[in-house]
Structures are given as C-alpha cells and as structure tokens.
Structure 1
C-alpha cells in the first residue's frame, strides 16, 4: 500500500464479479478432484480448468486491489482492516497446523501406547509400541523413517536464512533504500525456491529408497501431511513475496506505507516457525 490518503471515511469498492467467479472456479476444481479420486477419466482436465479459472480470477482481483491502493483510495481505516484480516488469517493457519500436530501427538503418545498395553496383548501379542511402526496388524509394507540429516537440516538453514534476509529487506525499505530492499527480498525468494527443490528431492528419496509413502501407516500419513502442507504454504508465501518483489521493482511502496510487504513477511515468518516445530517433532523426536 504505497498511496494512502488521510480521509476519515472507509473506502467501499464497487460491486465486483470476482467473488462469484472465484467460487465457481473452486467448485469446479474441488468437485473434479472428488471425481478424480473415484477414477473418473475426465476429472483431471476439469480440475485443471477450474484451477486455471481460479488463478485467472485471483490475478484480476488482486490487480484491482493493487490499483486501488496505488490510486490512493486506501486510508488508515483500510490499513487497520487489512492488518486485522491478515492476523486472523494467520491465526486460522495456526489452528490448521495445530490439528495436524495434535493428530501426530495422539497417534504417538496415546493410541500407540494403548495398542501396546496388556489389554491388547491377546489380540496383537507381537506388537511393540515403538515409533515409527507398521501397525499392530502389519497391513503396510516395511519402510525406513526419515532422518534429520542432511536434507531437513539444510532446509532449516534455508528457511532461517530467508527469515534473516527478509528482515534486512524490510529495514532497508523502511530506511528508503529501495535497491538494497529489492536485493535482499530477491535473496529471500531464492532461498524459498531452494527449500522447495530440496523437499522435492526428499520426497523422491522417501518413495524410491525408503519405501516411505503416504500409505505407510500413520507415520507415513502424518509425515507427508505435515511436511506436504508446509511445503504448500512455503509455495504460497514465496508467491506472495514474488508479487511484492515485482511491485517493489515497479516503484510501489514507500517507507511509511507498504502493508503488502509486511503482510507477506508476517506469513513467511509464520511458515518459518511452523517448520522449526516440524523439524523437531517429525525428524528428531
């Protein structure tokens, strides 16, 4: 938000087609995914069509918001509204990941020990409550668990470094050193891309060398759900930062008004914190 007026009134945009357009894209995409899971041959194509329609809608929707911001239509009331909205959005993401961490805790500390107790010895006498395991009935194939070295540790270094470069970029923008801010923000995006590349390599290693898949019992499902959704959030955060980088190169933002940068930075730091929790709980414990 580079242009900010001092009007005491709250800016109200004109009626827009974007919400209903986005809803249609989501309906087509998610409905197609449901049919895709049930092996409908046409579903992958309609899912792709829905995704492309959604991205097209978001491109124009965010473009309108950027135009309004650069046109000086957003005052302090809108700025406060954006800050509260981003805060609640990040809170919802905390609850989202909290559910997955809770599922992992329940499986490891409650369900597994119950299945290994004396009450279940008559049913599964050979079951050992050691994490990870293939379950009491041994319905899944044997696999090896993921270790913290080298890929997860390298990815931790990438994300922690990206948090530092992003902070340097923010301070440079606040000091009106635009070229320095652009350079450090570009470094942040590159580190995010490195993280995603290494996670892709990790998944390839897991599937082809460790026999660790999404179907590898509760360990495999929780591992891929936690790390996969986190990787998706890294992709989203990197996309936000890339848009901010392009806007900064085009001369958007001032030292005083740059909430788009700040909102993306909040999200990126949240992603960093979640990864630290994953790194300790999933790879070390």
Structure 2
C-alpha cells in the first residue's frame, strides 16, 4: 500500500503536524512522575509505585512520540530544509535552557564556597568533610568523556563523508565510553565518605555532579538512537539532523564536565 503524504501537495516547506496524542500523554505522565517522586522522597505509602508508574508512562509515551518523528523525517520526507532549520534552532534553545540550569547549580556552589559561613566552620570544604581525590576517578572520567567527544565527532565526519564503517565505529565507541563513565560515577558515589545531606558541600556536590550524570544518561540514549538509525540506513550524509542534535547535546555535556572537574573536584576539594 502506498502512503500518501498530504504535505507533498503543499506550496510551502513547513510541516503541518498531524494531531497526536503524545504531547498530552507526556504532560500527564510527567505530572504523575513528579507527584510520585515527591511522595517517594517524603515517605508516603505507595510513593514508589506511583513513581515507577510515572517513569514507565513517560518513557513509553516518549518512545512512541519519537517513533512518529522518525517516521515523518525518514519515510514521509516531512523534514525539509526549512523544517530542519527550525528543529536545529529548537535544539539550540533547549541547550541554552540546560545551560541556565547548570548556572543555577554553579551559582549555589560558588556562593557557598567563596564565603563559607560560620555554620560550616568558615572553611571550604567544611569541617568533617573529606573531599574526593580529583586525580583518581574524576580524572579518569574526564579522559573518558573527552575521548567520547572525539569519537562522536569522528563518527559524525565519517557519516558526512559516506564512510558507514567509520560512522558506526565512532558512534559505538562513544556509547561504550559513556557507559563506562556512568559506571565509574556510580562507583564514586558508593565509595564517597559523605552524602547529599552532609552540609551544603554534599548538597551542591551531588546536585551538580548528579545533574550532569542525568544528562550523560540522556545523551547516551540520544547517541544510541542515532547509532541504531545508522545501522538501519536511516541516516545519510546530508540528512541526519536528529543524530546531529544528539551530538551537539553531547558536546555540551563534555564542556559542562570540564567546568565541574575544575571547579567542584579540583578547586572545591582543596
């Protein structure tokens, strides 16, 4: 059966999106997720079940939503040059919003560290806190993350040049390094001698590195989707806007980690 796309009869390059149930479903799923998270952290009964339900609904609805977008761009040809420009602008604005999220965390860190209050002993790190060695796991993670950025760039350029093997290899190595980074971050948390409730140091440390860790996981999923699409011949040397957006996001994660390593691990731990 031939798929008839009504957009091919348009006299303009913009994509008129068909009615979709996913935006409203994602909205209610996120509301469920937020309520469940609050109930779980406050110790309410069944909070963990509501949290799990909200997470599952959010993941399920987003997967279906992204599936529709991939169908529109890959099989229906709705992502024209003008549409791709709009999507790229949206990704840039999204990354800027993420930048301000990290800015708020860095603001809290420097506000507390540059002028330590008497409640924490007037010193930074606070008395009783043994900071992590920046030249142990943090340095190794820095090498892993910067290497992953180099490999994803190699894979991107290979894709542009029509080198399918290089694109697959570079993207796959990026995913492996990202998983190693996340695993080492988890090990670091499990071995740390302080928790998020140990003074303002523990709060800003876990808030900053934890927020970055969440972004690493999300970025890994972005790159993984791009890898799967490369393997399935969805992407070409001129039409890979979704994968390119994931790469931009990954480079943003790389840059943020450099600031985290220098400020939180090295300067803030001495």
TM-score, length-scaled by structure 1:
0.87
Shift of 1:97: 0.3
Q: Partner residue of 1:76?
A: 81
TM-score by length of 2: 0.92
Structure 1 residue 128: deviation in Å?
Answer: 4.4
Deviations 1:196-233 (CA, angstroms, capped at 9, x unpaired): 00001100110xxx2x1001101110101100110110
Which residue does 2:207 correspond to in 1? 225
Match of 1:121 in 2: none
Residues in 1 aligned to 2:105 and 2:129: alpha-carbon distance in whole angstroms: 22
Pair 1:7–1:162, CA change in 2 (3 A)? farther
Tell me the residue number matched to 1:266.
248
Matches for 1:1-285 after TM superposition, within 5 Å: 8-70=12-74, 71-110=76-115, 112=116, 115=117, 128-134=121-127, 142-206=128-192, 210=193, 212-285=194-267
Query: How many Å separate the matches in 1 of 2:245 and 2:122?
Result: 44
Structure 1: runs of 5 or more not aligned = 117-123, 135-141
**How many angstroms apart in 2 are the aligned matches of 1:20 and 1:91?**
25
Shift of 1:9: 2.5
Distance 1:204 1:50 in 2: 26
8 Å contact kept, 2:13–2:83:
no
The 1:128–1:44 alpha-carbon spacing in structure 2 relative to 1, beyond 3 Å, is closer
Contact 1:8/1:75 (8 A) holds in 2: no
Q: CA RMSD in A?
A: 1.5
- Structure ranking higher on relative contact order (CA contacts 8 Å, 6+ apart): 1
Tell me the SS of whatever aligns to 1:11: coil
Separation in 1, partners of 2:27, 2:156: 34
Cα distance in 1, alignment partners of residues 184 and 145 from structure 2: 12
Radius of gyration: which is bigger? 1
Residues paired across the two proteins, number = 258
1:169/1:180 contact within 8 Å kept: yes
- The residue matched to 1:40 in structure 2 has which SS? coil
